Amino acid sequence: MDPLRLLEALCERHGLPVWVGLPLRPVVERALATGGLRRKRLLELVDARLARRAQILGARPERRDEQADQELLQLVARVLHDW
């Protein structure tokens, strides 16, 4: 199995571009070079790291949207307060 293709598949699974997972390529290569439980654990670590990264990247735009909504609400409240 090709490490880059596996990494691409894992990134796609989590909705991430491949460049996000590229720093983990050496770990994937090491996992594929070994076998058994060590391989499984290393790939689980990579998968968990990518899942966390997807969660972090997915949360940031929502926070920005919430902050923008809050600022807009405060602006409207100031205008209505005078009215």
Could you tell me which residues come within 8 angstroms of residue 51 by beta carbon, excluding any fewer than 6 positions away? 14
The candidate with the shortest Cα–Cα distance to 63, out of 53, 51, 71, is 71
Say how far apart CA 1 and CA 48 lie, in whole Å.
20
Alpha helices in the chain (DSSP H): 3-13, 18-21, 25-33, 36-82
pLDDT digits (tens, 9 = 90+) for 29-39: 999 999 899 99
pLDDT digits (tens, 9 = 90+) for 46-78: 999 999 888 888 744 445 556 666 666 666 666
Domain limits of the chain? 3-82
